[in-house]
Each structure stands twice: as structure tokens, then as C-alpha cells.
């Protein structure tokens, strides 16, 4: 369980999402993935079923949310009990929907365990299973089912995305990634874009630029060194793509972020 609280507006934030469900209690956040975006406000939930680089924009404050990581084994076991088949595989790997009352009740009891730590061990896993069960009854249920059954196109895309996360600095072609996912290049490209809003190479570029931005802000290093570290053969290409995404050259953007982060403290 992770609780999120945001009280001060700041510039859109690069984030790397893992498979998880975000339950929003107050405020609103827009999540942008490639050419798609989802807005989740108070009483809504946002489901993300694979590792993906996103941009988060907080549109209403104060923002309060509880986040539950997806446990594939628990979900698969639950689906076997329910005999629930996967649905259409060519849909996004993310989505939002209102939380029904029964789900709000389960999430409230789950978060409430923080007030009684002795109850966490015996009750947390049971309540999390109930949350997944309630979630399967909502419009997001098909997304959850689709991304949990091994051997489907959806889970192969999830595997490809996880592979890119681990090897973002490696030069790879769509054909090479298709071999990793055991799919044809055309099938991989179609399903990958449907799931993430990006092509595989765009996905890799976002991973590289996000990591480059973190390195520039955190360390005493040059843009050329960072470009090489994240997989760019050309510093010129790195500078051009970085500026196109973030609006400033790498060094200037790093200074702006350091100033902004200092002011936030």
C-alpha cells in the first residue's frame, strides 16, 4: 500500500508506472501515456496493467489517493475461482472508472488497517483479494482479466514493456523486440500501440529521456555523458529530442528543475 498526498501545484511530472490501481479520494490527476490521457478525480480509480512511462498532471488539489500494486498470482488465482475468461486484447492497458460503493467500502477498510497495525498481517491479503474481486465487477474488470492470463497477446506486450524497461539503453529493432515477445513485428507494433499509446521505439525513447532527466538533476554530469549512458550514439540527437519533449536544452532544464524543487521545499 502507498498513500499519496499532494498539496502544491508543480509542473507536469515524469513517472514510471508499474502495474497498479490508484484509488482517488480527493483532487484530480491526469495521466498521459503517449497519445492518450486519463483523468481520475475524487471517487474514481485508475488502473494501469503494465510498466509504462507517463506524465502526471495534478489538476485539482489537495490530492489524496491510495495505491495498490497488482499481484498477478493473486489475481490469476481469483480468476480461476471465478472461471472468468479474458476479453478483447487490443484495448488500452490503462483505464479509469468510478468506484462503486462496495469497492469504496473495501478500500476504506484496507487503508484503515494502518490505524491498527496488528490487523495488517491477518487481514490485508484478504481485503486486497476482495478489492480485486470488486474491481472485476466494474468496467475495468476486462482490462484486469486481459492482462493477467499467461500466453495472451496482452501478457506478451507486458513482457515486452518490462524487457524495454530493463534494457532501455540497448539498441533494438521492432523485429528484435518482437522475437523477445514471441510475436510478429506487425502484431507487436499493433498491440503495443493499443496498450500504451506509443510505438515500441517511442516507448524506449521516453524511458531514455526520463532516466536522462533524473541523471541530469541528481548528478554533476554533462549532457554528452548522460546521452551515452542512456543509449544515445549522438549527443546532437539526444539534445534535439530532449528539447522537443521538455522544452529546454538538457542543462537548462536541469537547472530549472533544481530551482523548482528547491522552492517546493
- pLDDT tens column, 9-30: 777 889 999 999 999 999 999 9
- Evaluate if residue 205 carries a pLDDT over 80: yes
- Evaluate if residue 116 carries a pLDDT over 70: yes
What's the pLDDT band for 257 if we cut at 50, 70, 90? confident
Highest mean pLDDT among 76-90, 108-122, 150-164: 108-122
Pairwise CA distance, residues 141 & 36, whole Å: 20
**Burial of 35 by CB count in 10 Å (0-12 exposed, 13-18 middle, 19+ buried)?**
exposed
Q: What is the DSSP letter of 113?
A: G
pLDDT of residue 109: 97
pLDDT of residue 260: 78
Residues 6+ apart with CB under 8 A from 223: 216, 235, 238, 239, 242, 249, 250, 251
Pairwise CA distance, residues 202 & 73, whole Å: 30
Domains of the chain as residue ranges with CATH: 2-146 (2.60.120.10), 153-201 (1.10.10.60), 203-264 (1.10.10.60)
**Which residue from 135, 130, 127, 126 is spatially nearest to 110, judged by alpha carbons?**
127
- Evaluate if residue 90 carries a pLDDT over 80: no
Pairwise CA distance, residues 230 & 210, whole Å: 10
- Evaluate if residue 263 carries a pLDDT over 60: no
Pairwise CA distance, residues 159 & 154, whole Å: 9
Residues 6+ apart with CB under 8 A from 84: 136, 141, 145
Average pLDDT, the chain: 91
pLDDT of residue 81: 83
Tell me the mean pLDDT in the region 112-132: 95
Q: 103: how many CB neighbours lie within 10 A of its CB?
A: 21
Residues 6+ apart with CB under 8 A from 179: none
Element at 52 (helix H, strand E): strand 52-69
Tell me the mean pLDDT in the region 65-94: 78
What's the pLDDT band for 262 if we cut at 50, 70, 90? low
Share of residues in the chain with pLDDT > 90 (%): 75
Tell me the H-state helices in the chain: 72-82, 101-112, 120-136, 141-146, 153-166, 174-181, 185-196, 200-218, 223-229, 235-246, 250-264
pLDDT of residue 75: 85
- Evaluate if residue 265 carries a pLDDT over 60: no
pLDDT of residue 220: 79
Residues 6+ apart with CB under 8 A from 213: 14, 242, 246, 250, 253, 254, 257
Note the pLDDT tens digit of each residue in 168-194. 999 999 999 999 999 999 999 999 999
Amino acid at each position: 500500500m502507498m498513500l499519496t498526498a499532494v498539496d502544491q501545484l508543480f509542473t507536469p511530472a515524469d513517472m514510471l508506472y508499474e502495474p497498479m490501481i490508484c484509488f482517488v479520494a480527493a483532487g484530480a490527476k491526469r495521466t498521459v501515456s503517449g497519445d492518450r490521457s486519463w483523468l481520475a478525480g475524487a471517487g474514481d480509480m485508475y488502473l494501469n496493467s503494465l510498466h509504462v512511462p507517463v506524465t502526471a498532471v495534478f489538476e485539482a488539489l489537495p490530492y489524496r489517493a491510495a495505491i495498490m500494486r497488482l499481484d498477478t498470482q493473486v489475481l490469476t488465482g481469483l480468476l480461476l475461482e471465478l472461471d472468468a475468461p479474458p476479453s478483447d486484447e487490443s484495448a488500452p492497458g490503462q483505464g479509469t472508472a468510478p468506484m462503486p460503493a462496495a469497492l469504496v467500502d473495501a478500500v476504506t477498510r484496507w487503508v484503515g488497517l494502518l490505524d491498527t497495525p496488528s490487523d495488517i498481517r491477518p487481514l490485508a491479503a484478504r481485503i486486497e483479494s476482495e478489492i480485486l474481486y470488486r474491481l472485476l465487477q466494474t468496467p475495468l474488470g476486462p482490462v484486469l482479466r486481459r492482462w493477467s492470463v499467461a500466453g495472451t497477446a496482452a501478457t506478451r506486450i507486458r513482457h515486452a514493456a518490462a524487457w524495454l524497461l530493463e534494457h532501455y539503453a540497448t539498441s533494438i529493432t521492432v523485429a528484435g523486440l518482437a522475437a523477445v515477445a514471441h510475436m510478429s513485428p506487425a502484431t507487436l507494433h499493433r498491440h503495443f500501440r493499443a496498450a500504451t499509446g506509443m510505438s515500441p521505439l517511442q516507448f524506449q525513447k521516453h524511458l531514455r529521456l526520463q532516466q536522462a532527466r533524473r541523471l541530469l538533476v541528481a548528478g554533476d554530469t554533462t549532457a554528452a555523458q548522460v546521452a551515452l549512458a542512456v543509449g544515445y550514439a549522438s549527443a546532437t540527437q539526444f539534445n534535439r529530442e530532449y528539447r522537443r519533449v521538455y522544452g529546454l536544452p538538457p542543462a537548462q532544464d536541469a537547472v530549472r528543475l533544481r530551482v523548482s524543487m528547491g522552492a517546493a521545499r
